[in-house]
Structure 1
Amino acid sequence: MYLFLIKFQQVSHYQERTEKDCLNCGTIVEGLYCHKCGQENVVPKETFWGLLTHFVYDITHFDGKFFSTVKYLVSKPGFLSLEFIKGRRASYLHPIRMYVFTSAFFFVIFFTLYNAKTLVPSEKEKNTQQREKLLAAKENLQENFSTGLDSSERIASSKVILDLDRELAILDKKRGSLTEEPMIEYDSAKAEGLNFGKTSLNYKSVLAYKRMQLELPKDKRDGWIKKAFMTRILAAVEAGEKQGERAFVTGFINNLMHSFPKMLFVSLPLFALLLHLLYGRRKDLLYSDHAVFTIHLYCATFILLLWIFGLEYLYDISGWLIVEIVRLVSVFGIFHYLYKGMRRFYGQSRGKTIAKFLLLNMLSFFMMVLLLTIFTMISASQISPDGSH
């Protein structure tokens, strides 16, 4: 069977050349592949059928590696990282390719489920949501009212129903006066005013900031980095005044959410550095080995988060309590995965692993808070006066 698979793979590739010089580097080839550059010694021209079968082989070969890698990645934390540093790599997907694939798939799902418009509802949407809650409460009270309540409970329920009716009337009146996106009056004369405070954050507009910079001596003016940052921040403030609170907040959250892939990518080498510092006495491990472990950890986290998103969606449509319990357990499962991975990959005792696990989580928390702060400031500065980003 093994020989048949080898033969099938060779047949599914291009036709082998009779000449033995590699077309890529000129090396004399002994066999089907060049031992110097790895290129197949095959005829450059190929039929459509040969091209199609080669494509199918590459896809199924990738799928086979991907699913076997995912199986070990999820079920045996730290195992793939150990395999990689031991040189056993041919049977599994490369960590970098695994990260690119899983992160891309994760963020496609993430941005589909969560976006700025759903996280920041308009006044009309808030009104509608509040009205639905009041109606549900009223229907529930009316249902209980007709089923076996004593006189005192009936009186109390009838008063609550009247209160709910008043609230609904107020909401309906407010709903009729709401536009889809209320705008805030923008006072351009006020925005152009100067406020010569002690700090540059007291400026009310980009124009005011630029005027003040021109008035200052050259040695007192802000550097180009601070000037660029202040210009973007003040432009964002003006955008908020022009568009209204929701439009500004929506643009800010949209920018911040789309910064998450970059933030995670930046955090990856920093997390690996924390591991390198915690296990500094392990001279047999290089920084790149810690990076491989971190990449596998991030890939597994993406997969576990997708599982959690799926459970959350299932709970929303079913309301089953068991689904919510499994979801909460899965959240803690991410931390359990990290502990088991550290235990297997680094091979230390349970006590040392727990101590380093707690320290790693504490340090990584501060690291993520710092990165979130930096990317939040960048997101705010990237909102232009016209509301685009």
Structure 2
Amino acid sequence: MAKKRRKFTQCPNCGYIFEEVNNFCPNCGQENHDLNVPVKHLIAEFFEGTLHFDTKAWITLKYLILKPGLLTEKFNIGQRASYVPPFRLYVFVSIIFFFLLALIADNSVRLNGGKPNSEATTVLPGVTISTNQNDSLIAAAADSAALEKVKTITQDSKELQALQSEIGENKFASEFADKFAKFTSHGDESKQKLFKNLSFMMFLLMPFFALVLYLYYRKQNRNYVEHLMFSIHLHTFYFILLMVAMLVGQLLPTLEFEGVVFLIMGLYLYFALRQVYKQSYLRTFFSLLPIGFAYLITLAIFFLSTIFVSVLLT
């Protein structure tokens, strides 16, 4: 879809008199496009420029959600003009995902934070934010006077003394404990840092998972880029699925559907592998087991590393 321009007759930057065909000023290079318009026009242009939010986008999303692996297959065989490029689609969806994640996490803490006995709030399947006010060890650790009081009360505990001695002998563990207490006591600042690092983690996870696929399917003599496109489309779908799960969780907080989400993730990966790598259903199933296991292990390592690095950078 061609960009709809609101053209000037004269360049506002250098005064050059435009001809009808001039989309850019031949004299200074400035774009011949009037941006002094209502906000709704700017929003529409953002979607157009970022995602080409037209028929191309809807077809792309339809194939991505309903036909696992088909977009990857079309990209690999060169049928690309009719669909949103994988990187652009991933960036657009991931921005919305992390914005929604931060919004829901902040809203959950704000709503439950004032309740004395509030329980942990689920933000994602398997990921919760604790808002229990009775569990205030972090605040106590940040308060030196309270910490001294805790030490006095429990000074006869041999287990605690042994633990303190062990931590005291390990300088790194002691420094990390201090940083962790500082990290968890900073609330919104730490949360935003963690979300930022998580987005970077996912960006690194995609090529790493593509490497796992490249090694597993090395006998098919595929280029690494083909596996990378598979990984990008897979994680884009996962983001969309988790966004739906978060919204459903907000509307129906008593509904337990984590198992359904993980089941959909597994089935999507299975059918995507079947579509792209052209193995039989049985062989695809036996391929899914090591690939899925390697993915879960990699995801756990990347996630824990992200938390570790976030704490160290506090």
TM-score class, shorter: 0.5 to 0.7
Looking at structure 2, the residues matched to 83 and 71 of structure 1 have their Cα atoms a distance apart, in angstroms, of 14
Q: Which among 260, 265, 271 is matched to residue 203 of structure 2? A: 265
| Number of equivalenced pairs | 259
Preserved CA contact (<8 Å) 1:342 1:353: yes
In the alignment, structure 1 residue 381 sits paired with structure 2 residue 312: yes
* Superposed counterparts of 1:1-389, under 5 Å: 9=2, 42=23, 44=25, 46=32, 48=34, 59-60=47-48, 62-64=52-54, 65-115=56-106, 118=109, 125=115, 127-129=116-118, 183-185=143-145, 202-203=168-169, 230=172, 234-238=174-178, 247=185, 255-283=193-221, 285-316=222-253, 324=256, 328-383=259-314
* Percentage of pairs with the same residue: 23
Preserved CA contact (<8 Å) 1:116 1:250: no
> How far does residue 114 in structure 1 lie from its aligned partner after superposition?
1.8
In the alignment, residue 129 of structure 1 is paired with which amino acid? S
> How far does residue 41 in structure 1 lie from its aligned partner after superposition?
6.9
Preserved CA contact (<8 Å) 1:240 1:248: no
* C-alpha RMSD of matched pairs (Å): 4.3
What TM-score comes out, normalization by structure 1 length?
0.55
Preserved CA contact (<8 Å) 2:180 2:311: no
Are the structure 2 counterparts of residues 234 and 13 from structure 1 closer, same or farther at C-alpha, using a change threshold of 3 Å? Answer: same
Are the structure 2 counterparts of residues 235 and 351 from structure 1 closer, same or farther at C-alpha, using a change threshold of 3 Å? Answer: same
Looking at structure 2, the residues matched to 201 and 267 of structure 1 have their Cα atoms a distance apart, in angstroms, of 33
In the alignment, residue 329 of structure 1 is paired with which amino acid? V
> How far does residue 373 in structure 1 lie from its aligned partner after superposition?
3.1
**Which whole-Å deviations, capped at 9, do the CAs of 1:107-154 have from their partners, x for residues lacking one?**
0001111259829x77x63x2538xxxxxxxxxxxxxxxxxxxxxxxx
Looking at structure 1, the residues matched to 69 and 242 of structure 2 have their Cα atoms a distance apart, in angstroms, of 18
> How far does residue 254 in structure 1 lie from its aligned partner after superposition?
6.0
Looking at structure 2, the residues matched to 311 and 103 of structure 1 have their Cα atoms a distance apart, in angstroms, of 18
Looking at structure 2, the residues matched to 11 and 108 of structure 1 have their Cα atoms a distance apart, in angstroms, of 29
Looking at structure 2, the residues matched to 356 and 239 of structure 1 have their Cα atoms a distance apart, in angstroms, of 42
Please state which structure has a larger fraction of its residues in helix.
Answer: 1
> How far does residue 310 in structure 1 lie from its aligned partner after superposition?
1.6
Looking at structure 1, the residues matched to 198 and 46 of structure 2 have their Cα atoms a distance apart, in angstroms, of 32
Looking at structure 1, the residues matched to 195 and 48 of structure 2 have their Cα atoms a distance apart, in angstroms, of 34
Preserved CA contact (<8 Å) 2:168 2:174: no
SS of alignment partner, residue 90 of structure 1:
coil
Looking at structure 2, the residues matched to 10 and 247 of structure 1 have their Cα atoms a distance apart, in angstroms, of 48
> How far does residue 315 in structure 1 lie from its aligned partner after superposition?
1.1
Looking at structure 1, the residues matched to 312 and 35 of structure 2 have their Cα atoms a distance apart, in angstroms, of 54
Preserved CA contact (<8 Å) 2:97 2:243: yes
Looking at structure 1, the residues matched to 178 and 62 of structure 2 have their Cα atoms a distance apart, in angstroms, of 51
Preserved CA contact (<8 Å) 2:274 2:281: yes
What TM-score comes out, normalization by structure 2 length?
0.66
> How far does residue 259 in structure 1 lie from its aligned partner after superposition?
2.3
Preserved CA contact (<8 Å) 1:239 1:248: no
Instruction: Return 5+ residue gaps in structure 1 as ranges.
Output: 1-5, 16-39, 131-173, 191-198, 210-229, 384-389
Q: Where does residue 23 of structure 1 map in the other structure? A: none
Preserved CA contact (<8 Å) 1:308 1:331: no
Looking at structure 2, the residues matched to 117 and 107 of structure 1 have their Cα atoms a distance apart, in angstroms, of 15
